[in-house]
Structure 1
Amino acid sequence: MKHTTRTALPALAVAAALLLAGCGGGDSETSGHGASHGASKSSAAPARTAFNDADVAFAQGMIPHHRQALEMADLVAGRSSDAEVKTLAEQIRRAQDPEIATLTRWLGEWQQPVPGAHVGHGGGDDGNGGHTMSGMMTEAQLTDLKAAKGPAFDKAFAELMIEHHEGALTMARDVLAKGEAPGVRTLAEAVVKGQSAEIAQLRTIIARL
């Protein structure tokens, strides 16, 4: 009996040690999961998107540039006599209005000022003393466009929108060469693709008017 008891005691001690080790391992594993979960939460938190001055300049310039395109598109109703011009004006509205919202959101995230409603109106001033918005219409050009009707309006609209779009292409290609923000690059590529196609369409409209 004494031999059995001496054998049993070490066995019980080993079992207790194993049980304690198992509990300790469980605590360690739980802590590990907790740390991992915390790290996962941290990595899932939205990181501030990298951007540079070229991205900011593009957003601040393209917002008033797009606003003017929408202003021109709004003139089509009641003045245009061409179905294709009317369709294209609606296409411009559908593309550029959401882009203004996106560009405005980015500037907010970057803690950069959003251009006011009248910045660049009737010209290319970017609101900071520069003239970075290539292709912007002057106040006189907009006044003449508002006064035109029928085929004269359609031709003037097409010619001015080509110039306007070419300015947007210049801005988009510039940020593609110098910008850093991935979202800006995607939007600039869409501008190049979409407005290049619209320029080609506008030229065919002018050719048949």
Structure 2
Amino acid sequence: MIKANDMAVLVLHGFNSCSKDVKILSDYLKDRGIYTISPTLAGIKGTKKEWNTTTWRDWISNAEKEFIHLKQNFKRVAIIGFSMGGLVALYLTCNYGADVLATVNTPIYCADIRKVLGNIKRCIRKRSYDPLKYYYRVINETPFWGAIHLSLGLSECIPLVEKIKTPLLVIQGLKDEAVRWKSADYLFCRSASPWKKKIYYRNANHFIFDGEEKEDVCQEIFHYLMQV
């Protein structure tokens, strides 16, 4: 068992979400004796208007402060980034030296349009319109400038992948509509880490911590932390 004073974990949530989306993972690690924090990044908890006043740098700044604090108080610090949080995790790992890095459904290539269109066709055939309402809500709630800054963050972080030498765990759901599965291939193949592992979950969509495989995902992350 990892003692609390040996390792700390920073868990970072995704774009247009908050820390509750990764709560199951945070709780899982805490229950097993690892000090874990999951801050809500700047602007993301607020209104759409507030979201549009923050930048990629603001999101990094929040996570940066938490990470530096952990580095000052623990022997080892791991970062786990879900979706956009994985991009922030890449940035922090390259600039401040995390001891372990895990990315979960982290975008290099965004939006699998074929999956979206396939789902829409199935909805129309079955006359089940809840997924269509979900797509509409996502489009309506996504702040324009927030999306622009996500793109800026993506372009800044992609070149950093080749500099990653930290032990790396890459997790990707194969039913993810927001992130194409080949993003995981890119992260895994392009990183310089000598100790890396890639896992695909056949039935997992983007919000993997809400799905049927969430316990397996948490377990895999915990085991990886224990091994490296």
Using the size of structure 1 for normalisation, the TM-score is 0.29
| Pair member with larger Rg | 1
Using the size of structure 2 for normalisation, the TM-score is 0.27
Larger strand proportion of the pair: 2
